[in-house]
Amino acid sequence: MRGAHRRRLLLVMYILLSLAGAWTQKAGGCPRWQCPVHSECVDERSCRCKAGFASSDPEGLITNPIGSCEDINECLQKSLTCGPFATCQNSEGSFHCICNWGYKLASGAKSFANKSENTCEDIDECSSRQHQCHNSTICSNTLGSYKCRCRPGWKPIPGSFSGPKNTMCQEPPLPTWTLLPTAQSQSLSRFSIEVRNLLKDFDPATANYTIQKVIEAMDKLLEAPVNIETLNPIDRHQVATQLLKYMEQTLRTLAPFLPKGPFTYTSPSNTELSLMTKEQDNKDITTVYHSQAWVTLNWAVAAGAKSSESGYSLAGILSSPNIQKLLADASMNLNQSRDILEERFESPVLNVSLTLLSNVNSIFLTNTDTRKLASNVTFNFSYSVGSKKRPREELMCAFLDTGDDGNVRWSTDGCSMNGTLCHCNHLSSFAILMAQYHVQDPRLELITKVGLWLSLVCLLLCILTFLLVKPIQSSRTTVHLHLCVCLFLGSVIFLVGIENEGGEVSLRCRLVAMMLHYFFLGAFCWMALEGVELYFLVVRVFQGQGLSTQWRCLFGYGVPFLIVVISAAAKMDGYGQQTYCWLNHKEGFLWSFVGPLAFIIFCNSAIFVVTVWKLTTKFSEINPNMKKLRKARVLIITAIAQLMVLGCTWVFGLFLFDPHSTWLSYIFTLLNCLQGLFLYLMLCLLNKKVREEYRKWACMVAGNKYSEFSSSTTGTGTSQSQTRALRPSESGM
């Protein structure tokens, strides 16, 4: 009975409460349906989304039971910004700003509301020990992050991760100093052991000390290279280049342990080292210098295409005054420049003598591939040069080049010199040299001078003989006299003035060339007259006496003068060369000499053939019973005399188109330099009348001491006169 009463009471209370709720909602003006989540009622027909939420209606109202309120992402609105180094983060119905990774708020708070509250600043992970760098690397803070870099001089371990935050490094492998198998000496062995011990005990904190000791060890080796100097030149030169290469490798390895910036050291033996270490990203034009040299380069060249692990690049100069002892007799590689030099000197370049004017300067970079640089490097080396410059001397910037055969030579390939500056597109060990080019064979030069002096003496004897020996004076001896005079004057001028000492074609050099042109042409013209004289004497012996003396002089001296005047008027620059005071080979000017020479030789050769043929006929008629040996001897002597006198030896000069033909040069020089001796032998000593006059002069000089010789000579002269009376047509030969 009591339980039923309670159930009725609860039912009544539920009905009353339902009626009260319905009345309350109706009294508040809310819709009969319930407003969705994140909204509130506005009136009896609609609800409105709360702040931070929005509905599909532009005004944010919900007018039906199926409507909803969605969260607004304020971070996507352009008008909202958190400021630098911060990121907006959305939340339900709101948002907040937080600093980016690697940054924090100065206040220490975790978030902030808007840009005006932004105080984000970089976190130094390195100093706060928040980094994860390996103990073989050094932490380097960056804006908002950090990097792990190898210690100075260390390198990443091959095969390991090489990212910015997980790099692992190892100590640098120091160069191994090994000796050449063929270059063994006690001093080299001691030096190698000393350097190996220095590098074995190397401590990065004392890199400066190690560098100084390595340089001093090299100086001690080079100051007293007793055992090295006994090596053959090839091994000695290879030791020098190997020493410089190992020094570059060692300094390139030790330099990163030095403080960044410039570093200079001068040893007690005046060996100088200058280093510059800078960030590899630097693109400036940088100059590295010390007292003996300086080098200017684009710093991008120092690093090259491959970036350095440490982020720094190196450029250095090592200048040694003692290394030249090992390079004293190093030769020059002329393969690339020979053609240019021979065109300049207009003569073959046989060899070159080198004088070292500066220290040998070894230039090295972090970039090891320096065979072809992206841009030229400019050097300036300290050197001294004499005030007087000799002919064919040239100041040059050269480098040590190891050829395919292993020989070390100086070379200028890829380098040019402008004043005192040297520009090269590669790096090596450089020096300033004075090159003396030799364009004449010393043996050929000696033969020329000795032969010309002997020829001058013989030509002078010929001239005196033709002037003083009365019995032989005739039209032929007149031709011989002027021929010898032209050759004598031409040879004197050749000996005195053929060398162009200054290297520049001066007025003196042009005058010497013109006089040589004139007198040698004159000699050829008188040779031509000799041929004409022989023609009249042998071929037309019964048809007149030939040309008169006036016509001979007009032809012998006038024709050469006319040729020289016309040549000078046409091209005065054709006289004189940089090397010799002679006719210039360019533009065919040499034909002003070669043309007349070839014409005269051709005519004289024709006359020579006709003369020999006529002489053969004449000898057979006069001496029908002459033995073959005597006949052959007379023909050979006559032929040689004609060949020498008529200048057919110059045929070798006409065929000497290749200046490198050594055997033709020797034949041409021997025959022409001794032409005076040949003339004296053929025209004087083989002439019986001349020999008789020489005997008379000898008797006059000797006096009574040679009275028996004088009487016998007189008797011989009498018998010879009788013989000549019997054979009036025989010549004095």
Instruction: Tell me the two tokens of residue 24.
Output: 């309350």
Q: What is the mean pLDDT of residues 229-254?
A: 85
Instruction: Tell me the two tokens of residue 505.
Output: 């074609």
> Whole-number mean pLDDT of the chain?
77
Is residue 561's pLDDT more than 90? yes
Is residue 384's pLDDT more than 70? yes
- Residue 184's contacts (CB-CB under 8 Å, 6 or more residues apart) are none
395: confidence class by pLDDT, cuts 50, 70, 90:
confident
* Partner residues linked to 319 by β-bridges: 272, 361
Better pLDDT: 147 or 388:
147
In this predicted structure, what is the pLDDT of residue 542? Answer: 42
In this predicted structure, what is the pLDDT of residue 282? Answer: 73
Sheet holding 39-41, edge to edge: 39-41, 47-49, 61-62
212 with 341, same domain? yes
CB 300 within 8 A of CB 322: no
What is the greatest pairwise CA distance in the chain? Answer: 207
Is residue 14's pLDDT more than 80? no
Domain range for residue 109?
86-122
355 with 238, same domain? yes
Interhelix angle 707-726/688-702, rounded to 10 degrees, is 160
Residue appearing with tokens 């005006």: 116
Q: Determine the Cα angle at 360 with ends 351 and 338, to 5°.
A: 25
Q: What is the mean pLDDT of residues 551-566?
A: 91
Other Cβ atoms less than 10 A from the Cβ of 283: the count is 9
Q: What is the mean pLDDT of residues 347-368?
A: 82
Alpha carbon 519 to chain centroid distance? 43
- Give the separation between CA 637 and CA 440, rounded to whole angstroms: 34
Interhelix angle 186-200/207-223, rounded to 10 degrees, is 180
Instruction: Find, among 357, 358, 359, the residue nearest to 323 by Cα.
Output: 359
157 DSSP assignment: P
418 with 464, same domain? no
- Is 470 inside any structural domain? yes
Contacts 24+ apart (CB under 8 A), 465-473: 465/684, 465/690, 465/693, 468/693, 469/689, 469/690, 469/693, 471/689, 471/692, 471/693, 472/687, 472/689, 472/690, 472/732
Alpha carbon 662 to chain centroid distance? 29
CB 354 within 8 A of CB 433: yes
Residue 293 phi/psi, 5° resolution?
-165, 160
CB 459 within 8 A of CB 488: yes
User: Is 240 exposed, middle or buried (CB count within 10 Å of its CB: 0-12, 13-18, 19+)?
Assistant: buried
Instruction: Tell me the two tokens of residue 169.
Output: 């490094």
Structural domains in the chain (count): 3
- Give the separation between CA 104 and CA 312, rounded to whole angstroms: 31
Instruction: Tell me the two tokens of residue 239.
Output: 């030791």
**Could you read off the pLDDT of 698-716 as tens digits, one per residue?**
888 776 444 434 444 444 4
Q: Which amino acid is at 387?
A: S
Question: What CATH number should be reported for the domain holding residue 110?
Answer: 2.10.25.10
218 with 360, same domain? yes
Is residue 515's pLDDT more than 90? yes
Other Cβ atoms less than 10 A from the Cβ of 219: the count is 18
Residue at a domain's end among 122, 142, 173:
122
In this predicted structure, what is the pLDDT of residue 618? Answer: 61
Most confident of 264-273, 279-288, 429-438: 264-273
Residue 78 phi/psi, 5° resolution?
-65, -25
**Could you read off the pLDDT of 651-705 as tens digits, one per residue?**
665 555 455 556 666 777 777 777 888 888 877 888 888 888 888 888 887 764 4
- Residue 694's contacts (CB-CB under 8 Å, 6 or more residues apart) are none
Is residue 732's pLDDT more than 80? no
Q: Where are the beta strands (DSSP E) in 267-407?
A: 272-279, 285-289, 293-298, 312-320, 351-356, 360-365, 377-381, 393-402
Instruction: Tell me the two tokens of residue 577.
Output: 């060369």
Lowest mean pLDDT among 99-108, 387-396, 687-696: 387-396
Q: What is the mean pLDDT of residues 22-41?
A: 71
In this predicted structure, what is the pLDDT of residue 708? Answer: 39
* Partner residues linked to 570 by β-bridges: none
**Per-residue DSSP letters for 21-48?**
HHHHHHHHT--SSPPPTTEEE-SSS-EE
**Could you read off the pLDDT of 408-426 as tens digits, one per residue?**
888 888 888 887 789 998 8
CB 370 within 8 A of CB 426: yes
Residue appearing with tokens 């939420």: 53
Instruction: Find, among 293, 247, 254, 244, the residue nearest to 277 by Cα.
Output: 254
465 with 405, same domain? no
Nearest 10 degrees: Cα torsion 626, 628, 631, 635: 170
465 with 543, same domain? yes
User: Percentage of the chain surpassing pLDDT 90?
Assistant: 10
Is residue 19's pLDDT more than 80? no
CB-facing half-sphere around the CA of 127: CA atoms within 13 A: 5
CB 296 within 8 A of CB 285: yes
**Per-residue DSSP letters for 172-206?**
PPPPP----TT---HHHHHHHHHHHHHHHT--GGG
Is residue 603's pLDDT more than 90? no
- Is 679 inside any structural domain? yes
Instruction: Tell me the two tokens of residue 175.
Output: 């160069």
Better pLDDT: 13 or 25:
13
517: confidence class by pLDDT, cuts 50, 70, 90:
very high
CB 319 within 8 A of CB 216: no
Lowest mean pLDDT among 19-23, 91-95, 102-106: 19-23
pTM: 0.56
483 with 429, same domain? no
515 with 610, same domain? yes
In this predicted structure, what is the pLDDT of residue 120? Answer: 92
Q: At 582, is the secondary structure helix, strand, or coil?
A: coil
- Is 728 inside any structural domain? no
Q: Which amino acid is at 94?
A: S
427 DSSP assignment: -
Instruction: Report the phi/psi class of residue 644: left, alpha or beta, with left for phi > 0 and alpha for psi in -120 to 50.
Output: alpha
Most confident of 231-240, 297-306, 315-324, 692-701: 315-324
Is residue 514's pLDDT more than 90? yes
- Is 158 inside any structural domain? no
Lowest mean pLDDT among 259-273, 443-457, 492-506, 624-638: 624-638
Residue 65 phi/psi, 5° resolution?
-70, -20
CB 601 within 8 A of CB 650: yes
Residue appearing with tokens 């490798």: 249
Is residue 721's pLDDT more than 50? no
In this predicted structure, what is the pLDDT of residue 647? Answer: 61
Question: What CATH number should be reported for the domain holding residue 278?
Answer: 2.60.220.50
Contacts 24+ apart (CB under 8 A), 79-84: 80/114, 81/115, 82/112, 82/114, 82/115, 82/118, 83/115, 83/118, 83/120, 84/118, 84/120
- Give the separation between CA 493 and CA 491, rounded to whole angstroms: 5
Is residue 437's pLDDT more than 60? yes
Is residue 534's pLDDT more than 90? no
Other Cβ atoms less than 10 A from the Cβ of 48: the count is 18
- Is 65 inside any structural domain? no
- Is 77 inside any structural domain? no
Question: What CATH number should be reported for the domain holding residue 678?
Answer: 1.20.1070.10
**Could you read off the pLDDT of 53-98 as tens digits, one per residue?**
888 777 778 888 888 888 888 888 877 788 888 999 888 888 889 9
169 DSSP assignment: E
411 with 483, same domain? no
User: Percentage of the chain surpassing pLDDT 70?
Assistant: 76
Instruction: Tell me the two tokens of residue 143.
Output: 């804006």
- Give the separation between CA 599 and CA 604, rounded to whole angstroms: 9
Other Cβ atoms less than 10 A from the Cβ of 340: the count is 11
- Is 493 inside any structural domain? yes
- Give the separation between CA 576 and CA 585, rounded to whole angstroms: 10
472 with 343, same domain? no
Residue appearing with tokens 């074995």: 200
- Residue 72's contacts (CB-CB under 8 Å, 6 or more residues apart) are 52, 53, 54, 93
- Is 660 inside any structural domain? yes
- Give the separation between CA 693 and CA 31, rounded to whole angstroms: 165
385 with 532, same domain? no
Q: H-type helices in 71-185, by residue range?
A: none
* Partner residues linked to 402 by β-bridges: 408
- Give the separation between CA 403 and CA 241, rounded to whole angstroms: 12
465 with 390, same domain? no
**Could you read off the pLDDT of 318-329 as tens digits, one per residue?**
998 888 888 878
Distances (CA, A) of 259 to 264, 302, 519, 627: 12, 18, 76, 103
